[in-house]
Structure 1
Amino acid sequence: MKISTKCRAISLALIGVMLIGLCNHAQADKLDLGKREYDSACAVCHGLTGKGDDGPLKSLLTRPVPNLTVLAKSNKGVFPFDKVFQIIDGRQEVAAHGPRNMPVWGNAFNNQTSLYFDNYPQQDSESAARSRILALTEYLYRLQN
C-alpha cells in the first residue's frame, strides 16, 4: 500500500507535535536544585518568593527580612554572586544579621546530606556543600527583578 505525500506530511507533523509535547513535559519535570535548596533552607524566613514578606518565621525575627529579589538592583544592576555565595556559606558576615542570626549554611550543608545530590559521584562533604550553595546562589540570581 502506497502512502500519499499528504498522509506522510500529516503523520510527520503529528509525530513532531508529540515530540515537542514530550520535550516540554520533560522540561517541566526537570529538577530545580537551587529552588529546592531555597525552599528547604531559606523560605521560612525570606518567604517563597524571596521578597521577605511571607516567611512563616518573619514575625519571630527582630530585624526586617531583606527582599532577595532586588540584590542586583541594589548593586548597580549586577548580581553580587560571590558576595551572596560567601554570605550563605558563612565566610562573610552580614551587619543586619547581628551575631550570625542567619544559619551558616556552609556548616549546615557540610553536616547534612542533600536529598537532591544523592546520585552524584562520591564527593567529600565540602564539595557537596559548595554544590548546594552554588545551586542556591544561582537560584537567587534567577529571582532578580
Structure 2
Amino acid sequence: MSARDLITRLGILAGLCLVTPVVAQENSVGSEAFRVACAACHGMDGRGGGEFADVLTVRPPDLTKLSQTNDGVFPYLRVFQTIDGRASIRAHGTPVMPIWGDTFSREIGQAAGPFGTELLVRARIVALVDYIETIQQ
C-alpha cells in the first residue's frame, strides 16, 4: 500500500470512527451494507452466487478470493473505488456494477450538508470494504 493510499484509508477510517459506534469483533455496519447492497448478486457468502447472478450478463466475481488473486494482498483501494464508482473513468461503456457511492449519497440525503454527506458515504463504503476483507480465504 502506498503512503497516499494509507493516508486516504486513515482519513476515511477516522471519519468512520466519528460517525459509527465501535463494534467489537464484528463489523455490523459493513455486514448489513453487504447484505443490502451486495448479496443479491454476490451471495451472502460473497462467492458470486446471489439470486440475481444467473440473470446478469457478467457473472459477479467471487469476493472471497480478491486477496488470493492479488498475490495475497487485499486490494483495499481498488475495492473501495469499485464500490464507490464515482471516481473511476469508464471509457469503455457503462459500469457492470451499480455505482454505490451515488446510491448511498441519495439515501443519506443532504441533512448532514455536502461534506457531512460525503463523510457518511465514505464511512459506509469503508465499513463495507472492511467487511469484504474479513471474508477473504
- Superposed CA RMSD: 2.8
Listed as ranges, the matches of 1:18-97 within 5 Å are: 32-53=28-49, 55-90=50-85, 91-92=87-88
Read off the aligned partner of 2:78 and give its amino acid letter: K
User: Structure 1 81/94 Cα, relative in aligned 2: closer, same or farther at 3 Å?
Assistant: farther
User: Structure 1 93/43 Cα, relative in aligned 2: closer, same or farther at 3 Å?
Assistant: farther
Q: 1:39-60 deviations in whole A, cap 9, x for unaligned?
A: 000000000000002x111121
TM-score by length of 1: 0.67
Read off the aligned partner of 2:70 and give its amino acid letter: N
Deviation of 1:27 (Å): 6.1
Deviation of 1:65 (Å): 1.4
Aligned residue pairs total 110
* Structure 1 equivalent of residue 131 of structure 2: 139
- 1:87–1:94 CA contact under 8 A, matched in 2: no
Question: Quick check: which has more Rg, 1 or 2?
Answer: 1
Deviation of 1:77 (Å): 0.1
Q: Give, in whole Å, the separation in 2 of the partners of 1:59 and 1:83.
A: 25
Read off the aligned partner of 2:96 and give its amino acid letter: N
Q: 1:70-119 deviations in whole A, cap 9, x for unaligned?
A: 00000000000011001110023689x961131100111111039xxxxx
User: Structure 1 27/134 Cα, relative in aligned 2: closer, same or farther at 3 Å?
Assistant: closer
Read off the aligned partner of 1:61 and give its amino acid letter: L
Read off the aligned partner of 2:29 and give its amino acid letter: L
Q: Which runs of 5+ in 1 are unaligned?
A: 1-25, 115-122
* Structure 2 equivalent of residue 124 of structure 1: 116
Q: Give, in whole Å, the separation in 2 of the partners of 1:93 and 1:74.
A: 23
SS at match of 1:112: helix
User: Structure 1 76/102 Cα, relative in aligned 2: closer, same or farther at 3 Å?
Assistant: same
Q: Which runs of 5+ in 2 are unaligned?
A: 1-22, 110-114
Listed as ranges, the matches of 1:99-118 within 5 Å are: 99-113=94-108
Q: Give, in whole Å, the separation in 2 of the partners of 1:98 and 1:143.
A: 30
